[in-house]
Each structure stands twice: as structure tokens, then as C-alpha cells.
Amino acid sequence: MGDEMVKHDALQIIGMFQVLPRLVVFDLDYTLWPFYCECRSKRDMPSLYPQAKGILYALKEKGIDMAIASRSPTSDIAKTFIDKLSLKPMFVAQEIFSSWTHKTDHFQRIHTRTGIPFNSMLFFDDEDRNIQSVSKMGVTSILVGNGVNLGALRQGLTEFSQNASKSEKNKQRWQKYSQNPNSSEKKDED
């Protein structure tokens, strides 16, 4: 399936959802591309997973911002590969650095740079430990097995919509409570 076909299918999937993330964040190694940067040379010509580029183009066309959060110990190679693949202009933030924090530092920097709340972000990564830690920040996080693909996109947007719906219901409950703080208290009848 070519990039244009994947983009078309991704646009259809995105069109099924009324609530969309303001920012989609991608890991690099084994999420956008099928290798670890530290095992490659800057001279190599990298390639993405088969559906990754079409999905990136679809998100861009829909006006959804994108960012990178990668714990690569060879950020110079990662950045070179992003340039070689002509992807640099697609991302509003690129946080690529080695870290022991399971990407929470990356997301703090992305939030500071973009001003986008964590609960308005969708994240794709191939490591469960990153999914767990970033989810605790309020980011909808999706574990990918064989890179980002249309199935992962659909799952991510579905979970994002469900999380947004839960958040809205909680907000409405809180507004009702704050308007009538005694509503849950038993009134004394003397």
C-alpha cells in the first residue's frame, strides 16, 4: 500500500472521530522506523514502517500537530535520519535525548514548548514502560507492536475519544457539584 493510499485511509479513519488530539507524539525506534538508531550509521539511508509516512501526511493535512519523543543515545543519527526522510518540517517539537525517566522529561519539554495540555495529546511507542509512565501524566498512550500503522491509529483515536468523553463527564459533574456544594450532604431536618 503506497503512501497516498495509506494517507487516504488514515484521513477516513480520522474523519470518523469528532474529538481529535491537538498533538500526536511519536517515538522513533521501532515506532516510526524498524531499527535502533544506535545500530546504524549517519551514512545509512533509513526507511519508515510501510504505513508511517501516509499517517504522518494525513495528520498534517488535518492540521493536527506532531512531535517526537525519543530516548535515543544517538540523537545526532536520529536527527540526520529525520532530515534524510524530509520529515523535520512535520514536527512542532523534537525531543530526542537519552534519559532514564521513561519519557516524562520529554513530555514536560513538549508541553512547555507547545502549551498543549497532556490530556490533549496522543502518544505512540513500542515500550510498555514508556506507555505506563506517560499515561500517568494524562496522555492517551498506545503500545505498538510492529510500528505505527492504520490499526494503531484507529485504536489511538478511539481511546483518545473515550478518554476525552470521560474527562468531559467528570467536568460536568464537578460543575454541578460546585454550583450546589451541599447537594451530596444530608440536610438536617429539626
Is the pLDDT at 145 greater than 50, yes or no? yes
Q: Which three cell numbers stand for residue 118?
A: 497532556
Is the pLDDT at 172 greater than 50, yes or no? yes
Of 51-65, 83-97, 129-143, 169-183, give the lowest mean pLDDT range. 169-183
The pLDDT, as a whole number, for residue 169 is 59
Is the pLDDT at 35 greater than 60, yes or no? yes
Is the pLDDT at 173 greater than 80, yes or no? no
Q: Which residue has the higher pLDDT, 28 or 187?
A: 28
Q: Which three cell numbers stand for residue 66?
A: 506532531
CA angle 163, 13, 166 (to 5 degrees): 10
Is the pLDDT at 143 greater than 60, yes or no? yes
The pLDDT, as a whole number, for residue 100 is 73
pLDDT tier, 46 (very low <50, low <70, confident <90, very high otherwise)? very high
Is the pLDDT at 121 greater than 70, yes or no? yes
Average pLDDT (156-176) is: 78
How many CA atoms are closer than 13 Å to the CA of 14, on its beta-carbon side?
Answer: 22
Residue 27 — φ and ψ, nearest 5°? -75, 170
pLDDT tier, 187 (very low <50, low <70, confident <90, very high otherwise)? very low
What's the rounded Cα separation, in Å, for the pair 148 and 58?
13
Indicate the burial class of 181 (C-beta count within 10 angstroms; 0-12, 13-18, 19 or more): exposed
The pLDDT, as a whole number, for residue 98 is 84
- Catalytic residue numbers? 27, 29
Residue with cell 508541553: 111
Task: Quote the percentage of the chain above a pLDDT of 70.
Answer: 86
The pLDDT, as a whole number, for residue 154 is 97
The pLDDT, as a whole number, for residue 185 is 47
* pTM of this prediction exceeds 0.85: yes
| Average confidence score pLDDT of the chain | 90
